Chains A and B, each alone.
Chain A
Amino acid sequence: MIENLIEISKDELLGEVQKAKYEGYRFVTASCADTGTGIIDVTYHFDKDLALRNYRIKVGKEDEISSISGIYFCAVLVENEMKELFGLNIANIAIDYGGHMLLADVDFNAPLTRSQIVIEQRGGK
């Protein structure tokens, strides 16, 4: 059981994150978990005085979500990581590595998802 877990819609994300910043929360990180049903749980973790507040959104594999790096710049690395390892479609990341922060052209797409390995590699090879 995770304490202070708040489920929100992806449309509410930026508003809630802005509110967390206004209330003095530190951005800790975000975690993805593939539910195996085509939905990825994305949990954003924030800390204030050593207590966590967690926001969770459910994201379909085709959905686009907004980057929070405009509010918390330090989210750039984890958002690029989520984009590459889970194939999330995150728009407007402050520094977007274009899918090449961790992966090379020859690597499989979204290697941390539960989908079966498809023999199709990046770069059309």
Chain B
Amino acid sequence: MAKTIVPFGPQHPVLPEPLQLKLVMEDEKIVEAIPAIGYVHRGLEKLTELKEFTQNVFVVERICGICSFQHAMAYCQGIESIMNIQVPDRGRYLRVIWAELHRIHSHLLWLGLLADAFGFESLFMQVWRDREKIMDIMEETAGSRVIISANTIGGTRRDISKEMLSKIVGVVDEIKADLNRVESVFFNDYTVKQRLVGVGVLSKDKAYELGAVGPMARASGIKQDLRMTGYAAYGELDFEPVVETDGDCYARTLVRLKEVYQSIDLVKQAVAKIPEGETFAPCKGNPDGETISRVEQPRGEVLYYIRANGTKNLERLRVRTPTFANIPTLLHMLPGSQLADVPVIILTIDPCISCTER
């Protein structure tokens, strides 16, 4: 049968950011997929060598809006490890609260985009309405909706009052109640299951071999979540990763939906246990040495490699983002699929091109 190459992207309704896949097709079936990136590469890693290490907190936040807090957190944890800075307990708990709020709004954003991708507009609107409540909390606690700049080297530059913490618990409870009403659509709706079950299957072995991270790996049965290492205050909270075993688009949806509930629980645990005290420890001098810092972002593991030489400028800052690790899985999942399933399969890796094109 004759083969046709269909360029999917870089501009496509399902892709908010530019990514291209060259799809080699036989009729409607994909036989090969080759990714093309680099449309919007910004060279931020080079920029971090030119800025002072304290300014880089604001640079790395701009790698990605959706997981900006975790980018800054990974960077700050790396510098703190080089400079032996002990973050005060309250700062560690505040980091968990903001990080989990970011995970909730990232997953809700994704669930809405997924519903939109398969044409379920009312579901998309229901989910995004709840996401707005988190964005309002961000604004109220940090003065900005997306890039909140709450992290600093040594802890957090802002505190959250007792009244606000109570309000946050109330809001996440509201979101939980709202999600309880729509979850049955994701879990049981005929149309949703037709579009997701058995589509884009990634086995456990293949996911591990291809270096999948985050919900991609966990939906294929790999119990891998960096929060298990106990960074920030995670070691003092009850936490067990959400794992599914089917490895298809439906399993990835279930993992993210269940992780919203898990994040709500983690926020409530952190609010209940947060101690009084300072939110940051002062940072004196310049970093000298190298380290690796890893954090679990909504899309999976992010790795920061930092090399410093005792001056204000870093010698090297390298960032491996989760989408960069998950793109190779597409090369395995897409061959054998139908063209109509491509948007949904691509979406279930939760692609973040601004992360990839840092």
Report the 3 A-B pairs with minimum CB-CB distance, sorted nearest first. Answer: A29-B320, A74-B211, A102-B38
Q: Count residues on chain B whose CB falls below 8 Å from chain A CBs.
A: 35
New A-B pairs, 20, CB < 8 Å, besides A45-B303, A74-B209, A74-B328? A26-B211, A29-B303, A29-B324, A31-B305, A31-B318, A32-B316, A33-B318, A34-B316, A43-B305, A45-B292, A72-B209, A73-B210, A73-B331, A74-B211, A77-B37, A77-B328, A100-B38, A101-B36, A102-B38, A112-B43
Contacts A1-B291, A32-B318; A74 near B307 (Cβ below 8 A): no
Which B residues are in CB contact (< 8 Å) with A106? none
Residues of A within 8 A of B (CB): 1-2, 26-29, 31-34, 43, 45, 50, 52, 54, 72-74, 76-78, 95, 100-103, 111-112
User: How far, in whole Å, are A103 and B37 apart by their CA atoms in the complex?
Assistant: 10
Which B residues are in CB contact (< 8 Å) with A77? 35, 37, 324, 327-328
23 contacts between A and B (CB under 8 A): A1-B289, A1-B290, A2-B290, A2-B291, A28-B303, A28-B320, A28-B325, A31-B305, A31-B318, A32-B316, A33-B305, A33-B316, A33-B318, A45-B305, A50-B229, A72-B209, A73-B209, A73-B331, A74-B209, A74-B210, A77-B327, A101-B37, A112-B45
Which A residue sits closest to B37, measured CB to CB? A101
Which B residues are in CB contact (< 8 Å) with A78? 320, 324
Across chains A and B, the number of contacting residue pairs, with CB separation under 8 Å, is: 75
* Binary per-residue interface labels of chain B (270-300) against chain A in the complex, 1 for a CB within 8 Å, 0 otherwise: 0000000000000000000111101000000
Q: Does A72 lie within 8 Å of B211, measured CB to CB?
A: yes
Q: Does B325 lie within 8 Å of A74, measured CB to CB?
A: yes
Which residues of B in the span 29-62 have a Cβ within 8 Å of any Cβ on A? 34-38, 41, 43, 45-46
